[in-house]
């Protein structure tokens, strides 16, 4: 220690000497203890609440964006499937009625085998339609051309098959560009009119006007539905984009609020403790030779201040831990309390003798389980999921299995792979930080099993 430069101060100098330092140290410690702890506790509680509110708002915005995306996709898919089902049913109903009418009115004619063969060919071609895809590719266009050509030959042989053109209207409108589809619909309508006039023993104006009216109505309804679908898709896309922007904004605000809270916590607790320790140790240094008793008192006070600072630091770390593990909660209990939504049953199994885990490992395993169950809920279509926590001596393993539809896992996961979620990359990153490994086993129709293994010995 450096000796005090003025070991015998005069009365006038005493306010600036070691007595003042000791008093200042005690006042700093006492003042901080009396008001600082209460203020820090209140600030911590208020800041933690604000930070959690921001995080909750961000999570709600993100979940809202995903929900809007899911609703939009579900609505569009449902409408498309409904229209396709109605069109297919109408086609086969009209085709069957046409075959029955032809056989009733023209039994035993030489053209009957040809009509039946062409009818079966048309049905087979129509059934093969979904196999060539719905997009207007070259295969789809060739398929439509063959179907229309077969139908034209069939109508020339048996005009009663003319009304099978109505479902073909929708097929053409869904496959071709609008102008080309309207031209094809007009040609099919003209052929329907000619076929109906051939069947009529005398001229009937209804046969001349009804087919164009039906074709115009079908085209107008389809075009209106397409416009409504496009408008709905645009609105949904705008909603999704807005919700995602809101979610990003909420995340940024939550991050900034949490950073501000932590900075205030550190300033009001750890920084004040360190400042008090510095003042006390400086006072002890000045009085070490002249007044050893006072110096030792300063050192003891600094030790107490350091202990309180350590306690505050531990409380800060505790505030950053998952709330499920707060208050000394057990990892097994936190995992047992997880769920994946009202439609999925989650079961928990504990294997082996539980061992004490570092807080970081417990927090990571809990977050991994939550992320995996979120993937199960959003993507798997599963009815049940199982969480298994296994203590295997040198490592702890968390398995998350579901009975969903599964998927084909790429050999090398890519960071730029398309997809909406970030669950698997986040899980791999958490486990990699702890020196562990992640394995994923899945196959279409056989569910998915995710396994995260973390060594119990710290990685050096």
- What pLDDT band is residue 132 in, cutting at 50, 70 and 90? low
In this prediction, residue 138 carries a pLDDT of 83
Q: What is the pLDDT of residue 185?
A: 87
Buried/exposed 423-459: b ≥16 CB within 10 Å, e otherwise: bbeebbebbeebebebebebeeeebbbbbbbbeeeee
pLDDT at 13 over 70: no
**Interatomic CA distance for residues 11 and 119, integer angstroms:** 122
For residue 172, count other CB atoms closer than 10 A to its CB. 23
**pTM of this structure:** 0.39
Helices (H) and strands (E) in the chain, counts: 12, 5
**Share above pLDDT 90 across residues of the chain, in percent, rounded to a whole number:** 13
Average pLDDT of the chain is 76
Mean pLDDT is lowest, of 74-88, 362-376, 425-439, for 74-88
Check whether 115 has a pLDDT greater than 80: yes
- Looking at the predicted structure, is the pLDDT value of residue 22 above 90? no
Query: Can you tell me which residue has the tokens 């005690």?
Result: 26
What integer pLDDT is reported at residue 439 of this predicted model? 93
- The pLDDT of residue 114 is above 70: yes
Tokens of 311: 């306690």
Are the CB atoms for 169 and 215 separated by under 8 Å? yes
Mean pLDDT for the stretch of residues 400-414: 72
């Amino acid at each position: 220690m450096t000796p005090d430069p003025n070991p015998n101060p005069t009365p006038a100098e005493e306010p600036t000497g070691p007595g003042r330092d000791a008093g200042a140290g005690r006042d700093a410690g006492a003042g901080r203890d009396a008001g600082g702890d209460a203020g820090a506790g209140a600030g911590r509680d208020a800041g933690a609440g604000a930070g959690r509110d921001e995080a909750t708002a961000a999570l709600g915005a993100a979940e809202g964006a995903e929900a809007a995306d899911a609703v939009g996709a579900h609505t569009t898919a449902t409408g498309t499937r409904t229209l396709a089902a109605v069109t297919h049913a109408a086609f086969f109903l009209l085709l069957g009625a046409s075959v029955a009418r032809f056989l009733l009115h023209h039994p035993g004619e030489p053209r009957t085998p040809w009509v039946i063969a062409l009818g079966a060919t048309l049905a087979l071609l129509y059934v093969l339609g979904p196999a060539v895809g719905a997009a207007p590719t070259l295969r789809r266009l060739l398929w439509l051309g063959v179907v229309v050509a077969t139908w034209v030959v069939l109508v020339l042989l048996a005009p009663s098959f003319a009304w099978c053109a109505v479902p073909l209207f929708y097929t053409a409108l869904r496959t071709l560009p609008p102008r080309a589809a309207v031209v094809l619909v007009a040609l099919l309508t003209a052929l329907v009119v000619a076929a109906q006039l051939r069947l009529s023993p005398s001229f009937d104006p209804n046969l001349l006007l009804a087919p164009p009216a039906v074709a115009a109505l079908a085209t107008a309804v389809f075009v209106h539905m397409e416009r409504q679908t496009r408008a709905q898709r645009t609105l949904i896309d705008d909603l999704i984009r807005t919700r995602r922007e809101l979610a990003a904004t909420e995340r940024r605000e939550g991050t900034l609020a949490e950073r501000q809270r932590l900075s205030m916590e550190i300033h009001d607790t750890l920084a004040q403790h360190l400042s008090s320790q510095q003042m006390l140790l400086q006072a002890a240094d000045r009085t070490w030779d002249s007044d050893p008793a006072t110096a030792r008192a300063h050192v003891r006070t600094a030790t107490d201040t350091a202990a309180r600072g350590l306690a505050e630091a531990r409380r800060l770390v505790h505030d950053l831990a998952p709330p499920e593990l707060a208050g000394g909660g057990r990892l097994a209990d936190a995992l047992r309390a997880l769920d994946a939504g009202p439609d999925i049953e989650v079961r928990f199994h504990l294997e082996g003798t539980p061992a004490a885990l570092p807080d970081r490992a417990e927090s990571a395993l809990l977050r991994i389980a939550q992320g995996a169950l979120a993937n199960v809920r959003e993507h798997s279509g599963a009815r049940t999921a199982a969480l298994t926590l296994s203590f295997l001596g040198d490592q702890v393993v968390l398995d998350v299995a579901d009975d969903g539809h599964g998927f084909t896992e790429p050999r090398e996961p890519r960071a730029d792979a398309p997809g909406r979620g970030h669950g698997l990359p986040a899980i791999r990153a958490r486990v990699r930080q702890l020196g562990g490994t992640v394995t994923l086993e899945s196959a279409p129709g056989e569910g998915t099993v995710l396994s995260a293994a973390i060594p119990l010995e710290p990685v050096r």
